[in-house]
Structure formats: C-alpha cells, structure tokens
Amino acid sequence: MSVRQKYAFNGICFFENAREHIEANDFPDIPIGTVGGIDEWVLTMRHNASLGFTYYKPFIYTPVENPHLKHRYYFGILRDNDKSELASEPEDIDVLEPGYGIGGIRKEIDDWLDEEDNFLTDGGIRIEFGFQIEGIRGPDEIWTFNFYDPLFDAKGKGNMITFYKDLENGEKKHFYSHKQLLTFHSTYFNSDSYEMTEIDNLDDLLQICHGVRGKINYDSAHHTLKHARKYNLFNVIHIVDQGLLWETPLQLSDAISLDAFNAVWFFQNAREHMERDDFPRISIGTIGGIAGWYLTMRFEIINNEAGYDLFIHTYQRKTMLKYRVYFNILKNDGSSETPYECSGYLEPTFGPCGKRKTIGNWLDEENRYLTENGYWTENGYLTDGVIGVQFGLQIEGILNEDGIWTFNFHDILFDSRGKTNMITFYKDFENGGWKIVANCHKQLITFHSTYFNLDSNKKIETDNLDDLLQICHGVRGKINYDSAHHTLKHARKYNLFNVIHIVDQALLWDSSLLISDAISLGLNHYLADLLRKQESLEELAEELKKVDLETMSGEMMKKCVMFMLDF
C-alpha cells in the first residue's frame, strides 16, 4: 500500500502546463470533494515569496468556513520516472485553524522547473496526496470524532459500519464508524451496513460511544436514546441518563430505565427531613418475588457521630438472598461521587445500604476546595435543598427451605429489552388478566432445547415451572412425585430431555410410583428399575392396561417386551 492510500481521501492530481501557471501564478483548484462534512476542499499549488526568492508548494484548503480540525496529511511529488519525493513532514499531524489550509514543503521555482530534478512530466507537475480529518472541535470547545468519512482501509479489512439514509434528491447521507468499538458496546452490529429512516442526532450517539461527553439536554437526548435502544447501546443510555440528571426534576416512575431495578430519586427538603429523622420510604416494588421493597435514608449514630446512609429494605423477607447493589450520590455541580457497588449475602431482616455520611457532610452545600487551576469550586450534596441519588438492586440467588441456593427467575434480565435475550413465561387468568410466572435467559434454555430458538423476547403461557428452570440451570433440589409431575409435563412439552433424565434418576429412590406412572411420565430409568422388581407377568399386564400403548415410546416398549421374554 502506498503512503497516500493510508488516508480516507487520497489521489494524484496533474497540473498541466506548469511553467505557464508558475509564470502567471494561476494554478487551478482541483476539487477533492467533501471531507469531514465540510464541502469544497481543493488541491492547488500555492505561491509565496521570501527574501527575494519565489516558492510554490502543494496546498489543500476550502473556501467554506470550518471549525478547528485535527488532521493527517501527506504530499508527494511524482517525478517523470514515477519515483516519489516526499513533499511534507512524515505522517504529519496537526490542528488546522479556521480560514487556514494545509501546505506541503515549498520549493523554489528553479527547482520545480529544473529538468534534471525530473519534477516535470510532459510539462506538468504530478502531486500525490493523502488527507484525513481525525477530529472536529465543536462550538462547546469539545473535540469530536469525524464520522462523515469512511475509514481509509475499510474495503480491505471489513472493519467499518456504514449508516445511511436516502435523501429526496436521490443522494445518500452517510455516517461511518469503526466496527470493533461498536461491537464492543453492542452485539447488534453483526453486519456492515444499516439503512436508517431517521439519521438525526446519530452523530451524538456515535460520539458518546467513542467516549466524547458533550452537553446533553432533553431535545438532543430524545433522538440519541431512540437510536441507543434500537442498537442495544446500554452504555450510551447510562451516560445520557447521567447527563440528564440535572435537566429537570424526575419522578421515580419516569426515571426507571433499562436495568432490572434501578432509578434516580430526589429527596426534597432534605435538611428538614434530617432534623426530624423522617425521610420518606420510596416504594420500589417487588424484587425477587418478594414484595414491599423501598428506598430511604437511614439515621445512625456511630462513634458519637450522627449520620445518614442510603438504605433499601423490605419487611416481607424471611430467607437469605444473594444480591448486587449500586448507590451513587449526585452533587450540585452536575458531577457524581464515586459510585458504591457491592455484592454479597443478605440475611433476613437486613437490607443493603450505601456509605454513611455525617449530617454535616450531607448539609454542606458549598464543600469548597481549590482546583488544580487555582479556582475555588463548590460541589456539595444539596441542590436547592434536594439530595439526588441513583440506585440499583438485583437479586441473583434465593436460599430455599432445603438450604439450596436457587436462581431468581422472578425478575426480568437487566438488559433484556434491547438484547432480546429473555424468555418470559406467564399465566392467563379467567378475568382476562395475566401474571408473569418466570423470566429466563434464552441462551441457556436454548442449549437444552431447540423449542426456544426464537428471534426475539418471547412470552409463553404456562403455570408455575420454577423447579423446571432451576434444574435447567444446574440446581438439584429435592424431587418427589408430586413436584415431578408438573416439572415433567413441562419438560416434555418443551423437549427438555436433560430435565426428564435428571428427574428420572432422582426418582429412583421414591418407591411410591407404579409402572404405569413411570410410563406416563416417560421415566426410562425408573421403569427399568421397577421391571427388575416385578414378580409376575400378571402384575405387569395390569399396569399396562392403565396406559395408552400407542403413545408409549419405542424404548419403553422394548424394555417391557424384553422383560416378558426373560421372565
């Protein structure tokens, strides 16, 4: 690959009749096109004089007003023997100010026209160039990436994703992004091209994906969040969520976002609540199948210091839980404290809490300190008497009455709405309503059965099947005939043969089942064990009368026939 091909825009321009153009100082502008979303870029030969000498150099510019640009460029002079001489600093990277252009290394007129230097080819000058805009400084003085131009090596490496929209004039509007970074953010991007009906504010979305944090308000965030949900860009949603915290007061119902249970809440009149120790209990709802969860600020005195911490609790819980929790306190300058995250085991009657702060810390609205630049700043926790917090809670496991840890299938997966990675089982009621019975990750259950090979989140009507899902996920609790009956019914319905096999083995020690039960439930191991214990053909014949022989599996039929022949 030649040097110039390492740039999004590259080529060779031939200036005919160079001697005449030098004498008249009228080299033409050869169009390059639109670069970095800015039109009318051209390549020419620029004249300048110094200390009695006259020079020319290759020069790229645009007459269109442009912001500060971070760019890379390359110039080379092609001699008449096709060898190239570098006419710019190697891999030159610079910031281009508005109204300026990009110039190569200048040469005196005599050097350009000296036939021994071979710079003239058929009386003209051939300039090869490469040009790429890496960054664009926005009106808020923040450097942003250039998504208007394709990557220079995209065709060969297949490393680019193109977003486009057909315009009314028959042309297309494009945005280009590196595939590796977008696929890091979302598994949605398994293709190279995406047609969009609406491309507004896509640039903001891509900037956030690449780590650029500009100003976020409701108007710009609306379109950005729409695209972020479509493409499963949950990091973008989280960042916009944080950026909008101080845009307007939120209600808890408005603030719930895509994680299983997380939200933003603003405790109004915090100073008065601390004086009276009467912070409200903000209802969160049912988590992990346990009702009554709430968020509040809890008062404690430790080492003679009075303080408050964030506290999540319910009075309905009577078992131990495995959990993850997240707390973040929002400051009055729009920033946030270092988030507090932890996970562990939660004993009954206890609740997860955040880091405790003294009342003085909470109520200090100024909290003034000197920055590195020598300016005093204020970033206390009160904003007009309000304390803003973020929180998240997820229950990973539940200890059952047998002392066995079980998975939590009561709650939706935190990223399921965008990733379509969840299967929901529900039950219809006679009054027309319905209730979710369980939520399960699609990847594991599709491993067990092709029944669940679905392209989207799926709702499946059923009744309670927690035991079935626990077995699918490797949890082996106590199994008896009463619990196994419903589990096996669902296992056969959904082709979960591993579950049938596990239940079959577990029931070997349950002596209450008969041969007809084993056949009806499809328990091959259990049937074999009962046949070995059978004392007469008459008893077997009586049991076989209780089942539909036409629906009996071939394997079970074979076992019964072999027993009769060997008896």
Q: Report helix, strand or coil for 546.
A: coil
User: At residue 370, does pLDDT exceed 50?
Assistant: no
Question: How high is the mean pLDDT of the chain?
Answer: 77
pLDDT digits (tens, 9 = 90+) for 393-433: 988 888 888 787 888 888 876 555 555 667 777 777 666 56
Q: Give the C-alpha separation, 345 to 341, whole Å.
A: 14
- CATH of segment(s) 160-244: 3.30.710.10
Which residue in the block uniquely carries the two structure tokens 């997380």? 262
Q: Quote the percentage of the chain above a pLDDT of 90.
A: 14
The more confidently predicted of residues 188 and 195 is 188
Distance CA 82, CA 73 (A): 21
pLDDT digits (tens, 9 = 90+) for 24-62: 999 999 999 999 889 999 999 999 888 888 999 999 999
Q: Region 424-451: what's the mean pLDDT? A: 69
Q: Do domains 160-244 and 262-399 have the same CATH topology?
A: no
pLDDT of residue 375: 41
Q: What is the pLDDT of residue 40?
A: 93
Cα separation of 487 and 500, whole Å? 8
Residue range 315-337: mean pLDDT, rounded = 80
CA–CA dist 325, 309 (Å, integer): 14
Length of the chain, please? 567
Burial status of residue 24 (CB atoms within 10 A of its CB: 0-12, 13-18, 19 or more): exposed
CA 433/CA 452 separation, integer angstroms: 25
Closest CA to 478 of 390, 400, 555, 549: 400
Residue 419 CB partners (closer than 8 Å, separation 6+): 187, 232, 413
Predicted confidence (pLDDT) at residue 257 exceeds the cutoff of 50: no
The CATH class that applies to domain 3-145 reads mainly beta
pLDDT per residue as tens digits for the range 125-147: 999 998 988 888 877 777 788 88
Selection from 239, 240, 213, 251 nearest residue 388 by Cα: 251
What's residue 248's pLDDT? 45
Q: Which tokens belong to 22?
A: 């030098």
Q: Decide: residue 259, CB within 10 A, 0-12 exposed, 13-18 middle, 19+ buried.
A: buried
Q: What confidence tens digit (pLDDT) does each residue in 274-315 have?
A: 989 999 988 888 888 888 899 999 998 888 888 999 999 998
* 206 Cβ contact list (under 8 Å, min separation 6): 145, 147, 175, 177
The DSSP annotation for 269-305 comes to THHHHHHHT----EEEEEETTEEEEEEEEEEEEETTE
Residue 114 has pLDDT above 60, yes or no: yes
- In angstroms, rounded to a whole number, what is the distance separating the alpha carbons of residues 333 and 473? 46
- Confidence band for 463, pLDDT divided at 50, 70 and 90: low
Q: In terms of Cα–Cα distance, which of 498, 493, 416, 494 is closest to 457?
A: 416
Q: What is the pTM of this model?
A: 0.46
Look at domain 262-399 and name its CATH class.
mainly beta
- For the record, the structure tokens of 351 come out as 């609740």
pLDDT in the model for residue 368: 44
Confidence check: pLDDT of 333 > 70: no
* CA–CA separation, 237 and 77 (whole Å): 49
- Helix, strand or coil for residue 67? coil
Candidate ranges 204-208, 250-254, 352-356, 534-538; pick with highest mean pLDDT? 352-356
Which residue would you say has higher pLDDT here, 513 or 121? Answer: 121
* Band (436; pLDDT cuts 50, 70, 90): low
pLDDT bracket for residue 377 (50, 70, 90): very low
Integer-rounded Cα Rg, in Å, for the chain is 36
Give the highest mean pLDDT range of 103-117, 260-274, 329-343, 367-381.
103-117
Q: Is 387 exposed, middle or buried (0-12, 13-18, 19+ CB in 10 A)?
A: buried
Q: What is the pLDDT of residue 460?
A: 65
Judge residue 221's burial from the number of C-beta atoms within 10 Å of its C-beta, 0-12 exposed, 13-18 middle, 19 or more buried.
buried
Query: What is the pLDDT confidence band of residue 191, given thresholds at 50, 70 and 90?
Result: low
pLDDT of residue 309: 93
- At 206-229, the pLDDT tens digits run 887 777 766 676 667 777 877 777
Where exactly are the structural domains of the chain?
A: 3-145, 160-244, 262-399
Q: What are the strands, taking DSSP E only, across 87-204?
A: 92-96, 102-103, 107-108, 120-121, 124-137, 143-145, 160-166, 172-178, 193-195
Strand-pair category, 458-461 with 422-428: parallel
pLDDT, position 361:
82
Q: What is the pLDDT of residue 246?
A: 47
DSSP single-letter state for residue 29: P
Kindly report, residue by residue over 306-320, the tens digit of the pLDDT.
899 999 999 888 789
SS3 for 134? strand
What are the pLDDT digits (tens) for 516-544? 777 777 777 778 887 887 777 887 787 77
Separation between Cα atoms, residue 535 and residue 533, nearest integer Å: 6
Averaged over 238-265, what is the pLDDT? 53
CA atoms within 13 A on the CB side of 150: 19
How distant, in Å, are the alpha carbons of 88, 541, 556 from that of 549?
A: 88, 12, 10
Q: Would the pLDDT of 65 be above 50?
A: yes
**CA dist., res. 264 & res. 268, Å (int):** 13
> What DSSP designation does 145 have?
E
Q: Exposure string (b/e) for 338-348, b if CB count within 10 Å is 16 or more?
A: eebeeeeebee
Beta-carbon contacts of 319 under 8 Å, excluding residues fewer than 6 positions away, are: 348, 398, 399, 400, 401
Place of tokens 């702060």: 357
| Amino acid 258: pLDDT | 31
Task: Give the helix ranges, DSSP H, for 105-217.
Answer: 109-113, 154-157, 179-185, 202-209
